[in-house]
Structure 1
Amino acid sequence: MTVEALRGVNLTVNRGDFTAIMGTSGSGKTTLMNIIGCLDTPTSGTYILNGRDVSAMSDDELSVVRNETVGFVFQNFFLLHYATVIENVLLPTLYMDAPQDGPKNKVRDKAMEILRTVGLEDRAHFKPRQLSGGQQQRTAIARALINDPDLIICDEPTGQLDTRTAAEIMTILSTLNNKGTTIIIVTHDPNIAAYAGNTTHIKDGLIDGDFNRRL
């Protein structure tokens, strides 16, 4: 039996956009996010990222594109609990051919600057278990920024946070977007989607106005 997670999706996100993708469980939003983030490839159609067709790239090619172009922020943080905050932030740089900003100490300085941006400079040498949920998510945002991605994809980034902390995280993301970073956030929460400049709804693998035309 073939299951079509997405059905003829046509979506454009421009550089500098802040886009929310909303949908219930099983709507196809996670599959769409995985394709946008080069974690998965479409079985048909074309995906253009920064002017390049990445639809038929190999896993190795997608890994390079992912590491150089996309930063990820997940609901469950996915931090290494045996590593310090700054070590978690530096993790994506280990997969680069060479430190993108020169000597290793310069990359470390960059990580500290990003931690200052998200308000965690004084927690750089803490372990994740010593942090609150909001601080762990800030660490995840800092990690997403270390390779200067063109796009940050956030999958339910406030799902484990209280309302006040969620607002703090969304304020950080909004500030990054105001500085030019393209952000796509996947959420089921309209209050979180309201931070985005535009919202795309997905249902049964279809997007927005395609509901009535395709069903």
Structure 2
Amino acid sequence: MLTLDQISLRFPDGDSTITALDEVSLTAHPGTVTAITGPSGSGKSSLLAVAATLIRPTSGRVAIDGIDVTGLSRDEATALRRERIGIVFQQSNLLPALTAVEQLCVTNELGGRGRRSTRRETAARAVELLNAVGLGEHLEKRPHQLSGGQRQRVNIARALMNNPSVLLVDEPTSALDQARGEQIIQLILELTDRLNTATLLVTHDLVHLPHLHREVNLVDGQIKTRQLV
């Protein structure tokens, strides 16, 4: 579970201060997808960065699985991020020389929950996830051999490699047409339910909202929450 409690984030701007987030509180529950919407500059990226422990808030508390992560050192936050948080970036950022399976196996080398897996176990986990995202026939293909939607599926599978309890997804459909975007949203919903992750999904595409569980609309760093299902 992910909890943000009274989160504020302020940046100096010359003689003034910009408030990116203004006492934002929300909870993302396991097995649910919460959409983060709002106009450009409303604080969506800041919210995701704070949830990912990439930025420390000015005030407030972030908790993941009941662990208060707000005061962790940089090294401690990095270790927690590798073990408990999966991040799906807007761009897939896949390594050009690596196959789909290898993209996921590299993630395991950076850390994971519990004991370190053997190479055979790591490869088996990678194949399992790539099958789960519909890429069972593309395991040995490199990024240039995959479509945009397929690269995004590798991106999602890679984020799940270390069994995260929190999944943070940034504009996963921005580079896709509506049909492929719909497939990606359905895939995220299915995996969230199957793996019981607490998922935050930043999106500008409101057509997907009816499929999600809850909407958090950000305007000038403040939120309005709406239950969708």
Q: Output the TM-score relative to the length of structure 1.
A: 0.92
Number of the residue aligned with 2:23 = 8
1:203 maps to 219
Report the 3-state secondary structure (helix = DSSP H, G, I; strand = E; otherwise coil) of the residue aligned with 1:38: coil
Equivalent residue pairs, number: 209
What corresponds to 1:166 in structure 2?
Answer: 181
In structure 2, the CA distance between the partners of 1:124 and 1:45, relative to structure 1 (3 Å rule), is: same
Q: How far 1:43 sits from its partner (Å)?
A: 1.3
Residues 39-118 of structure 1 aligned to structure 2 (within 5 Å): 39-96=54-111, 100=115, 102-118=117-133
1:18 is aligned to 33
CA RMSD of aligned residues (A): 1.6
Structure 1 letter corresponding to 2:37: M
> For the structure 1 residues 97 and 31, does the alpha-carbon distance in structure 2 shift closer, same or farther, using more than 3 Å as the test?
closer
Structure 1 segments (4+ residues) deviating >6 Å: none
- SS at 2:211 equivalent: coil
Letter in 2 for 1:19: T
**Alpha-carbon contact 1:100-1:107 (below 8 Å) kept:** no
Deviations 1:137-176 (A, max 9, x none): 0000110111011111110001000111111111111111
- Residue 134 of structure 1: how far off its partner (Å): 0.4
Partner SS, residue 5 of structure 1: strand
Given candidates 166, 187, 195, the residue that maps to 1:151 is: 166
Aligned-partner SS, 1:153: strand
- What corresponds to 1:136 in structure 2? 151
Instruction: Within 5 Å, give how 1:156-195 maps onto structure 2.
Output: 156-179=171-194, 180-195=196-211
Secondary structure of the equivalent of 1:11?
strand
Report if the CA contact (8 A) 2:112-2:162 is conserved. Answer: no
Once residues 74 and 65 of structure 1 are traced to their aligned partners in structure 2, the CA distance between those partners, rounded to angstroms, is 18
Looking at structure 2, the residues matched to 8 and 43 of structure 1 have their Cα atoms a distance apart, in angstroms, of 10
Distance in 2 of aligned mates of 1:167 and 1:70: 24
Report the CA distance between 1:194 and its aligned residue. Answer: 2.6
Once the two structures are superposed, residues 54-110 of structure 1 have per-residue CA deviations (whole angstroms, 9 ceiling, x without a partner) of 111111111111111111112211111121111111222111279846321111011
Unaligned stretches of 5+ residues in structure 1: 210-215
Task: Name the amino acid aligned to 2:207.
Answer: N
- Answer whether contact 2:28 2:199 (CA < 8 A) is retained: no
Residue type of the alignment partner of 2:174: G
Using the TM superposition, give the Cα deviation of residue 17 of structure 1 relative to its aligned residue in structure 2, in angstroms.
2.1
Structure 1 residues 97 and 15, CA gap change in structure 2 (3 angstroms) = closer
1:6-59 CA-partner distances (Å, limit 9, x unpaired): 111111222222100101110001000011111111011111111111111111
Structure 2: runs of 5+ lacking an equivalent: 1-12
Q: Which has the higher strand share?
A: 2
Task: Give the fraction of aligned pairs with identical amino acids, expressed as a percent.
Answer: 36
Q: Aligned partners of 2:30 and 2:131: how far apart in 1? A: 25
TM-score of the superposition, structure 2-length normalised?
0.86
Q: Which has the higher contact order (CA 8 A, sep 6+)?
A: 1
Q: Which moved more, 1:191-200 or 1:52-61?
A: 191-200
How far residue 5 of structure 1 moved from its aligned partner, in angstroms, is: 0.6
